[in-house]
Amino acid sequence: MSAIRRYMKVICAAAMGLALLAVCFAAGGQETASGVQLSSLMGVGALTAGCVASERREKKAKELQAARAPEGAARFADIAGAEEAVEEMRRLADCLRDPERYARAGAHLPRGVLLYGPPGTGKTLLARALAGEAGVAFLQANGSDFVQMYVGVGAKRVRELFKKAREHEKCVVFIDEIDALGKRRGGGEENAEREQTLNALLAEMCGFKQDGKLLVIGATNRPEVLDEALVRPGRFDRRIELGLPDLRAREQILIHHLSRAGADCGAGELPLLTAGFSGAGLESLVNEAAMLAAGENTRIQKEHLERAYLEVLAGKPRWDAKPQGAQLRRVAVHEAGHALACLRFLPEEPVLLASVIPSTKGAGGYVLRRPSEALPTRRSLLGALRAALAGRAAEELCFGAEELSAGAASDLKAAEQLVRRLALDYALEPGLGLMPGRKPDEAALCAILDREYAQALAYLRESRQSLESLSAALAEKGQMDLPAILAAI
């Protein structure tokens, strides 16, 4: 039905032509009929061609209109916690609006801007806001759209994209995940299609005039893999980093989303608890709280934010799957060991919640800590290492070495990553040298793990009474926050 509606003019023209031909055949005189038929066919062809051309013009006009920034398009006011990046983009928007003023001063709009940073930090939103603020057309493509099996297809699509951009008076072209087509050439990886596509992009980036009417924005999470010819001055002249938000930025982002959701509470301690969250992660967190509030037919409250935070990190608790008997005792001892080691060796990361209730994210039990934004030190890394090994140490202390379970498998993987960061990445282990990233000495790493496991075991042996009382309380209550943990020990 949609196809019929789209080509209604052509169908009507063809129907009129058929009707006219039928009349001509019914007319008297073969010679007269033949002349009339020829004239009719020419008229029908002209009418059909006119209808097709009209359809193309209307389709092109609709595409141009759709690309223009609408009234409700994103603006810089919709972006919180990225003042430096917004300020740089604001100058670009001003240059797009009034390129003549910059030309009088001898300046021109950069050909390209590269936005880079971790996923979810607002690169796409910033590009859309630039187009919305400048009131210009916005064309978006993904780097994978140009990477095709057949040689020449990707290059053709690049040329078509820039041709479409030039049809607008002013335009912002946004290429997301540009590393898919702009990856560094050479290095033993030959791909004729990708190289042709990249060459087409390089030619287009140098081909359009610097008249302040066209700006190309690329976004990537991996700027280090881009080809040098693509990121040289004259193509992507400006690079803007969008990193994970700091404490102040997280507070601004949360307040922004909470105000849009009409919440009845502020951000509270949530900015402190969300270190390492991206802007998209914070928006998702507020949305989870809004869904919880909607289920209770109310606005977002503090308790909704707390529940959403726990569910985002650990998943929803599965109370119906709570272990029983000996299994509950083992899980409680394991998590109590983690909690006590965190209190002793990681005071900068206070415990938020200890749980023996399985979660929807696959955890049989867990201890949540408030993340720290401080630079890692040897003391903090060793503390995290002991806390990771303390669950296994608690099991050995309470059940004996012969009854150790496989429940510490994920803890051992986390401990391995920590010890590699300590000894290899940061070169913070005395006696192993200062060369970061060197070939690992597995025996030395195992010795560090054994040493720190012995430290965790010795501490829990000294705190055996606290371990027993906390594990009993955990088995009874299922979940305990920091005040309850402190009261139990």
Cα separation, 105 vs 108, whole angstroms: 9
In DSSP terms, which residues pair with 141 in a beta bridge?
Answer: 175
In DSSP terms, which residues pair with 368 in a beta bridge?
Answer: 353
**Alpha-helical segments (H) within 270-377:** 270-273, 279-295, 302-314, 325-345
Question: Do 95 and 74 contact (CB within 8 A), yes or no?
Answer: no
> How do 479-481 and 351-355 pair as beta strands?
antiparallel
Q: What is the pLDDT of residue 26?
A: 57
Q: What is the pLDDT of residue 373?
A: 86
Q: What is the pLDDT of residue 457?
A: 95
Joined tokens for residue 103: 């030309």
Give the Å distances, CA to CA, from 357 to 472, 479, 483: 14, 7, 19
What's the pTM value of the predicted model, to 2 decimals? 0.78
Cα separation, 474 vs 333, whole angstroms: 9
Q: What is the pLDDT of residue 429?
A: 87
According to CATH, the superfamily of the domain at 76-241 is P-loop containing nucleotide triphosphate hydrolases (3.40.50.300)
Give the Å distances, CA to CA, from 277 to 250, 255, 260: 8, 15, 19
Question: Do 17 and 51 contact (CB within 8 A), yes or no?
Answer: no
- Would residue 303 show up in a list of annotated catalytic residues for this protein? no
The topology (CATH level 3) of 319-488 is Methane Monooxygenase Hydroxylase; Chain G, domain 1 (1.20.58)
Question: Do 414 and 388 contact (CB within 8 A), yes or no?
Answer: yes
Catalytic residue among 306, 311, 335, 396: 335
> How do 366-369 and 214-220 pair as beta strands?
unpaired
Task: Give the rounded distance of the alpha carbon of 221 from its chain centre.
Answer: 9
Cα separation, 332 vs 289, whole angstroms: 29
Question: Do 370 and 395 contact (CB within 8 A), yes or no?
Answer: no
- Does the domain formed by 247-314 have CATH 1.10.8.60? yes
Joined tokens for residue 260: 């849009």
The one-letter amino acid code at 382 reads L
* SS3 of residue 137 by DSSP: strand
DSSP secondary structure, 446-458, as one string: HHHHHHHHHHHHH
For the sheet containing 351-355, what is the strand order? 366-369, 351-355, 479-481
Output the tens digit of pLDDT for each of the chain's 489 residues.
445 555 555 555 555 555 555 555 555 545 544 555 555 555 555 555 555 555 655 555 455 444 454 445 678 888 888 889 999 999 999 988 888 888 888 888 888 999 999 999 999 999 999 999 988 999 999 988 887 766 678 888 989 998 888 888 889 999 999 998 888 887 656 667 788 888 888 888 886 566 668 899 999 999 998 989 898 888 888 899 999 999 999 999 999 999 988 888 888 889 999 998 999 999 999 999 999 999 999 999 999 999 999 999 988 889 888 889 989 999 999 999 999 999 999 999 999 999 999 998 888 899 999 988 888 999 999 999 999 999 999 999 999 888 888 888 889 999 999 999 998 889 898 878 777 767 777 888 999 999 999 999 999 999 999 999 999 999 999 999 999 999 988
| Opening angle at CA 174, ends 210 and 286, nearest 5 | 140
Task: Give the rounded distance of the alpha carbon of 249 from its chain centre.
Answer: 17
Please name the helix (run of DSSP H) or strand (run of DSSP E) that holds residue 79, with its range, or none: none
The conformation of residue 226, written as its DSSP 8-state character, comes to B
Q: Name which of 349, 327, 351 is nearest 475 in CA terms.
A: 327
Joined tokens for residue 243: 């990193």
